[in-house]
Structure 1
Amino acid sequence: MNTKKHKRLSLKERVIIQTLLEENKSKSFIAEKLNRSRSTITREVNKWVSNPNDKYDASLADWLAKDDYLNKRNLDKIGSYSLLRFYVYKRLLKNWSPEQISGRIKIDYPNDPVMTISHEAIYMHIYSHPQASLNKRLIKLLPYQKSRRRKPKARRKKGSKIKDQINIAQRPEHIENRQEIGHWEGDLVIGKAQKSAIGTIVERKSRYTLIISLKNRTTKSVTRAFAKELNRFDNQLTKTMTYDNGTEMADHKWLSKHTNMDIYFANPYASWERGTNENTNGLIRRYLPKKTDFKSIDNSQLKSIQSKLNNRPRKVLGYKTPLEVLEQNSV
């Protein structure tokens, strides 16, 4: 057959390739349909897909191919290896974080030195040319979309201003494994110019979330509002809460007394010790982005967002909803 020579595949042709692959057509059949050589089709598919769990994606393949052609200056690992680049970009498009991509690729390609990348290398690749159109698009896929990466400011170590706090190290070990219901994590989400805030409390096992309207960030306002919400539940569902070192929890003894909950405090700058709450705050930010003035958000709007989060299936829960898990464990 007469085949095209020295002409790059078009997006239209890649869409046909994807469609026919999904119909389990052979590469020879696809080549004949497109009037291309079989080696061209084989090379195209193998370039972007080697893991059996991945599927050929026409739009992404076309995007990356154009980037290959137009941007030869990418000399980092992601820029040098097309399969690695396809793997990373495809998961960024799925809203995976660089940390998740770096961790998962080790499982998918355990013995391939090319298919391994640190999360820092992914960030460096994305921010290598922050003004380029491709990089701007990649930055928008990150959990926290900043136009540039800045070195974190050095923090001065200060002693805690919260008296008589109980450190997370003293929290019973069984709480860590999420087998028991009733253990919560708490925090504030700060609004525009740090002049407003809302409270968030998340149950560790079920991921059930409370979003709490606050008049202000004083310890009295926060602890009273938290107590009011938590006391709506049976005692079996409110056993402990782990908080950060925010001074709004200075009156933790009052909260503990009026909810019968033990209050533990995470270590300074150790957000991973309250990872469930941190991740949930990120979900809430999708509805209430940074610079939101929470004084303009009424309680009904907060409860609407709370309901959406608690009635959404979660993969980590076997696609049950947080509300379903909470109710199943409260019987």
Structure 2
Amino acid sequence: MPRRDAAAQAGVHERTARDWDRGIRKIGNARLHPDGRRIDYKTGVSTTVCAAPASLSAVEAELHPRFLTVTERELISDLRRQGESLRAIGRALGRPASTVKREIDARSAEGVYQPHRAHRAWAASRARPRQSKLAQDGPLRDHVAQKLRERWSPEQIRNNLLLEFPGDEGMRVSPETIYQAIYVQARGGLRREVAVALRTGRTIRTPRRTGGARQPRFTHPMIMISDRPAEVEDRAVPGHWEGDLIMGSRNETAIVTLVERHTRYVLLGHLPGGHTAEEVRDVLTALIATLPEHLRGSLTWDQGSEMAAHKQFTVATGVPVYFCDPHSPWQRGSNENTNGLLRQYFPKGTDLSVHSAEDLEHVAQQLNGRPRKTLGWATPAERLRDLLTTT
């Protein structure tokens, strides 16, 4: 059709259409010609700028070879009008016929394939300017923020949403989306909020490291974890515990932590004066004494010096103590994970003696009320309750 009619349909001036045909681009008050001349049409001043590489068209940038270019789309349109088959068009492009078919099926409007419209539609489909779910105010963001304040992990929050809002697709978020929101905020300066939201308190993800070897330090011989009964390993039988200390500032104060392997139930022991072997023995003995007989199976600990009185503990309670191999925290994985959770309440480098026995009981209740992935999103308190009511 004549240029004037084409310009009218495109909604531009005929002179603009003529410039497009000649490869001339308008930049501000000047026109940039394909040969690199820049002419200010108000002053008439002409300057020469660095010309674009010949391999780059004025209407497209360099693309990965797997993408169709606007030139290839023009060729598809031309050959399609000539009645060529899909295979013939594919051979001309050096691409599979299926690629041509998908392009025509997806980009045709009312049965007509227009190459530039198709290219614009493809370019628009590549953009993903979608805002993060948690960057928007609303019930989802409020719910996530509330659970983070309660020290729930992102994965716990995700699965809790499935249970609390089973029919509401708007109340869905992945754990990674929560992590990304937290870490982006951290880079923006909200480090204090991150320390509260995540149990590690980290603003970036860091690799783990291992330390050097540790020597045994007990008078009485240790029973190693390799001698522990198989029923303890598979967690099938309740009553087997993992234990450790979490340390305060300068390693002067500590708290005893016990985790039941079957239910992940947590017990915390108060050590107001210190953490000598005798003090730890007495606190452990008192904690075990609160349990029914069938939940006093065994205790697994690392080779810390605080367990030097392990033989006396076993005599007093009848609970055997099994010791992990040096530098093998995964052999007490449940306890290590729990200690990480407890650091939200008892940060590293703080004085742990200021927390009373009532404070520890409150923290233990909160941990035991959290849903756990390994328990099918039940809570340790629910599992222990079921265990006590069925035995």
| Alignment length (residue pairs) | 231
The corresponding residue for 2:218 is 161
User: Aligned partners of 2:206 and 2:189: how far apart in 1?
Assistant: 13
C-alpha distance 192-320 of structure 1, shift in aligned 2 (>3 A): same
Q: CA deviation at 1:160?
A: 3.9
Q: CA deviation at 1:315?
A: 2.2
* 1:201 equivalent among 250, 255, 258: 258
The corresponding residue for 1:43 is 126
User: Aligned partners of 2:251 and 2:303: how far apart in 1?
Assistant: 17
Name the TM-score, length of structure 1 as normaliser: 0.60
**In the alignment, structure 1 residue 257 sits paired with structure 2 residue 340:** no
**In the alignment, structure 1 residue 323 sits paired with structure 2 residue 381:** yes
C-alpha distance 41-241 of structure 1, shift in aligned 2 (>3 A): farther
Name the TM-score, length of structure 2 as normaliser: 0.51
Letter paired with 2:299: M
The corresponding residue for 2:334 is 276
User: Aligned partners of 2:134 and 2:219: how far apart in 1?
Assistant: 51
Q: CA deviation at 1:270?
A: 0.3
User: Aligned partners of 2:124 and 2:199: how far apart in 1?
Assistant: 32
User: Aligned partners of 2:371 and 2:268: how far apart in 1?
Assistant: 18
User: Aligned partners of 1:186 and 1:142: how far apart in 2?
Assistant: 19
**In the alignment, structure 1 residue 238 sits paired with structure 2 residue 268:** no
User: Aligned partners of 1:135 and 1:93: how far apart in 2?
Assistant: 19
User: Aligned partners of 1:204 and 1:95: how far apart in 2?
Assistant: 28
Letter paired with 2:340: G
C-alpha distance 324-219 of structure 1, shift in aligned 2 (>3 A): same
The corresponding residue for 1:180 is 237
Q: CA deviation at 1:155?
A: 2.1
* 2:269 equivalent among 173, 192, 212: 212
Q: Which consecutive segments of 4 or more residues in structure 1 shift more than 6 A?
A: 134-137, 139-142, 146-151
C-alpha distance 159-261 of structure 1, shift in aligned 2 (>3 A): closer
The corresponding residue for 2:356 is 298
Q: CA deviation at 1:91?
A: 4.8
**In the alignment, structure 1 residue 221 sits paired with structure 2 residue 275:** no
SS of structure 2 residue aligned to 1:323: helix
* 1:314 equivalent among 343, 351, 372: 372
Alignment of 1:65-80 (within 5 A): none
Q: CA deviation at 1:246?
A: 0.8
SS of structure 2 residue aligned to 1:329: helix
**In the alignment, structure 1 residue 58 sits paired with structure 2 residue 132:** yes
User: Aligned partners of 1:197 and 1:184: how far apart in 2?
Assistant: 19
The corresponding residue for 2:117 is none
Letter paired with 1:39: W
Letter paired with 1:203: E
Q: CA deviation at 1:319?
A: 2.0
Q: Which has the larger radius of gyration?
A: 2
The corresponding residue for 1:66 is none
Q: CA deviation at 1:249?
A: 0.7
Q: CA deviation at 1:325?
A: 0.8
Q: CA deviation at 1:241?
A: 0.6
SS of structure 1 residue aligned to 2:358: helix
Q: Is the 8 A contact 1:162 1:249 kept in 2?
A: no
User: Aligned partners of 1:235 and 1:142: how far apart in 2?
Assistant: 34
Cα distance per residue 1:240-275 (max 9 Å; x no partner): 010011111111111111211111000111000000
Report the aligned-residue RMSD.
Answer: 3.9
C-alpha distance 323-156 of structure 1, shift in aligned 2 (>3 A): closer
Q: CA deviation at 1:328?
A: 1.6
The corresponding residue for 1:73 is none
User: Aligned partners of 1:94 and 1:148: how far apart in 2?
Assistant: 14
User: Aligned partners of 1:227 and 1:253: how far apart in 2?
Assistant: 12
Q: Is the 8 A contact 2:199 2:344 kept in 1?
A: no
SS of structure 1 residue aligned to 2:241: strand
User: Aligned partners of 1:320 and 1:310: how far apart in 2?
Assistant: 10
Q: Is the 8 A contact 1:95 1:142 kept in 2?
A: no
Q: CA deviation at 1:44?
A: 3.4
Q: Is the 8 A contact 1:245 1:266 kept in 2?
A: yes
Letter paired with 2:234: N
Letter paired with 1:206: T
Question: Identity, % of aligned pairs?
Answer: 33
